[in-house]
Structure 1
């Protein structure tokens, strides 16, 4: 097989990723919307359902083989780093590097791993910041950042050795995707009657918050993508982790 064919196969989106897109972009939003009718403490139930759904694409990404313990542990470490990065800036409102760490994880280990890391990190970190009906939305919004980063890296749009484009992507992703998703959560929680005026007010008031969050994400990816990626690549090469999709 020629190098050109190998490169083409690398960029081809595998079947399990299409299934992941359906789960993440269709099933999870349906659960978020349905959670309004789950009853008391519905956000805990919704969060648990989201974690289960997040695990489906992750395990599908291994296709015919079982994930090894070291692969699960590595993602658990990335989740811990993401949670710690959010907690470390608790005194600076809205300046949270968590999404930056999630994006780096998605670039390193793939879209499904990125989504799982974002969802779990949001859920766990809210034991510090406070659980609530916003938790499932944060899980979805942070997970999407990792998922998109993984997809774009697989497609060759983002490069693991080029941190500036990745940092720009991170900032734009928060401004255009993660931030608006969290604003949509605020729209459902803060207004009894949703109309154009209330929606415009919520999204406009969220712009400064999203801008600060985007800046934190940009700086995190810009400063940490190379050193973290080097260490993660060493682990992947040493143990042959999560390489099947790339072969």
Structure 2
């Protein structure tokens, strides 16, 4: 990995952290997932995982670190990994594929966080059902941020593709 690639990931992580802090007043509507999805789609799974770890940890330093931080890293890391592998297989990178992934990722993120809650609370189903409205907001937010960020990131990220 070259220094320019690490710099790109660092800048994307800073964008994700600032975006998460800036939009903290809206429940589950933050640009972090969209930035991870778009970055992983164009830069690969390694970038997605590195971005997930950095964005979750650094933003939680400002918003509050707890056991949920580990599950946020796991959730965003899995999303970044899967999307990165999908991006490696999609040569033409269609916009609708990215939008669909963004929508589904909101629910995947919530499901994994619910699994994390189960590990220390012993309750899964009730917590997951209660969280579905927030997962829906997350999915909608992902789609909105993907629409807003896609033109810029799709144009500039392929130049930095990780090897």
Deviations 1:166-190 (A, max 9, x none): 1111111221x2110111122233x
Whether 1:146 aligns to 2:80 is yes
User: TM-score when scaled to structure 1?
Assistant: 0.62
Q: Matches of 2:75 and 2:22 in 1, distance apart?
A: 20
Match of 1:201 in 2: 126
Distance 1:159 1:201, change over 3 A: farther
- In the alignment, the residues of structure 2 paired with residue 135 and residue 179 of structure 1 have an alpha-carbon distance, to the nearest angstrom, of 13
Higher relative contact order (CA 8 A, sep 6+): 2
Q: Aligned pair 1:135/2:106, yes or no?
A: no
Higher helix share: 2
CA distance in 1, matches of 2:128, 2:150: 30
Number of aligned pairs? 163
Tell which structure's C-alpha radius of gyration is larger.
1
CA distance in 2, matches of 1:166, 1:181: 20
Deviation at 1:159, TM superposition (A): 4.4
User: What's the TM-score once normalised by structure 2's chain length?
Assistant: 0.92
| Structure 2 unaligned blocks of 5 or more | none
Alignment equivalent of 2:60, drawn from 117, 126, 129: 126
Post-superposition shift, 1:100? Answer: 0.4
Task: Name 1:86's counterpart in structure 2.
Answer: 20
Q: 1:230 matched to which residue of 2?
A: 155
How large is the Cα RMSD of the aligned pairs?
1.6
Q: Is 2:120 the partner of 1:182?
A: no
Q: Which 10-residue stretch deviates more, 221-230 or 72-81? A: 221-230
Runs of 4+ aligned structure 1 residues displaced above 6 Å come to none
Structure 2 distance, partners of 1:91, 1:173, is 21
In structure 1, the gaps of 5 or more residues are 1-66
Match of residue 216 from structure 1: 141
CA distance in 2 between counterparts of 1:179 and 1:173 reads: 8
User: Take 1:76 and 1:113, find their aligned partners in 2: how far apart are those partners?
Assistant: 10
